[in-house]
Amino acid sequence: MPKIIVNVMLKDEILDPQGAAVAAAMARLGFDFAKSVRQGKRFEITCQEKPTQADLESARSAASGLLANLVIEDFTITVEE
Amino acid sequence: MRIGVVQFPGTLDDDDALRAVRSAGGEGVKLWHKDRSLRSIDAVIIPGGFSYGDYLRCGAIAKFAPIMDEIINSAGSGMPVLGICNGFQILCEAGLLPGALTRNGNLHFLCRDQEISIENNRTIWSNDFSPSEVITIPIKNGEGAYVADPQTLRKLAEEDLVVARYVGANPNGSLHAIAGISNETGNILGLMPHPEHAISELTGPSRDGLRFFTSLIQKSLR
């Protein structure tokens, strides 16, 4: 079934201590390619049918009112068939 | 004076808040998150804990509770509101206070006594303190780092809306060492440390916390 994917990330200017801890662990484990890590959230919303434009607008208002706090976070919305 | 104390699923500190209200000379009124009536209260406290398990973000689900509609309405018309710890997070999520509370800078859950300075003693909740008074009350939080955009921080400073700051080493990475802020009209206070745990020397580090409650209650009696 199709899914609406909402990815939520802390804004760039907000300190992400969890991401920093992951980056430190990667460095300890020898994953030298990693310069820094930011950690976010992914929401998979399964839909009955292929989401319409109106569904995507609703998803956008759910993301801005509930899934993300726009004071500290940004989000993106995509659809997976 | 009737002071409501809200209980959400996962609230921890409602009993201590009710006890603090009684110690300060008020009448505590238990409110349930599904209530749609504020039961003729004169002020409300949103206590600490982990409302709805802190799922999604601290306070993110609680802001949609039925009781919050009533609180948001009444706060807008001047009812005193005190949000402590999770209550502060809920007030920010609900848009009653600006900014947000995020993960402590060191990722540690902190539980200890903390010195804070009272930066504004002219709010409804802080008038029983002297200007710049330093007090010791507990902090216990994992997501207590206050953040806001630069314009908001400037406004908080210019309009004297920072009510309390951490003294000494910043415990959680809060911007400008902010421990508590109020709205422009001073009826809403969000506080990360826990005054309700510092109302008697038997159970707390001091009795300093009691004065947040007497600020409101004793003034109404005078």
Tens of pLDDT, residues B45-56: 999 999 999 999
Check CB contact under 8 Å for A17 and B173. Answer: yes
Q: What is the pLDDT of residue A81?
A: 87
Q: Is the pLDDT of residue A35 over 90?
A: yes
Buried b (16+ CB within 10 A) or exposed e, B128-161: bbeeeeebbbbbbbbbbbbbbbeebbeebeeeeb
Please tell me which of the candidates A21, A67, A72 has its beta carbon nearest to residue B102: A72
Does domain B2-221 match CATH 3.40.50.880?
yes
Please tell me which of the candidates A17, A67, A69 has its beta carbon nearest to residue B103: A17
Rounded to a whole number, what is the largest CA-CA distance in chain B? Answer: 44
- Domain spans of chain A? 3-80
Please tell me which of the candidates A18, A67, A71 has its beta carbon nearest to residue B103: A18
Stretch B198-210: mean pLDDT, rounded?
96
Interface confidence (ipTM) of the complex: 0.89
Question: Dihedral sign, CA of B172, B174, B180, B183?
Answer: negative
Q: How far is it, in rounded angstroms, from Cα B104 to Cα B56?
A: 17
- Domain spans of chain B? 2-221
CB proximity B149 to A under 8 Å: yes
pLDDT band at B220 (very low <50, low <70, confident <90, very high): confident
List chain B residues with CB under 8 Å of A21: 107
Nearest CA in chain A to B56: A67
Average model confidence (pLDDT) across chain B: 96
Closest CA to B213 of B196, B197, B201, B200: B196
Q: What is the pLDDT of residue A57?
A: 97
Residue A21 C-alpha, separation from nearest chain B C-alpha, in angstroms: 9
Check CB contact under 8 Å for B105 and A17. Answer: yes
Identify the CATH homologous superfamily for domain A3-80: Phosphoribosylformylglycinamidine synthase subunit PurS (3.30.1280.10)
Q: Is the pLDDT of residue B60 over 90?
A: yes
Share of chain A above pLDDT 90, in %: 99
List chain A residues with CB under 8 Å of B57: 69
pLDDT band at B85 (very low <50, low <70, confident <90, very high): very high
Q: Is the pLDDT of residue B222 over 70?
A: no
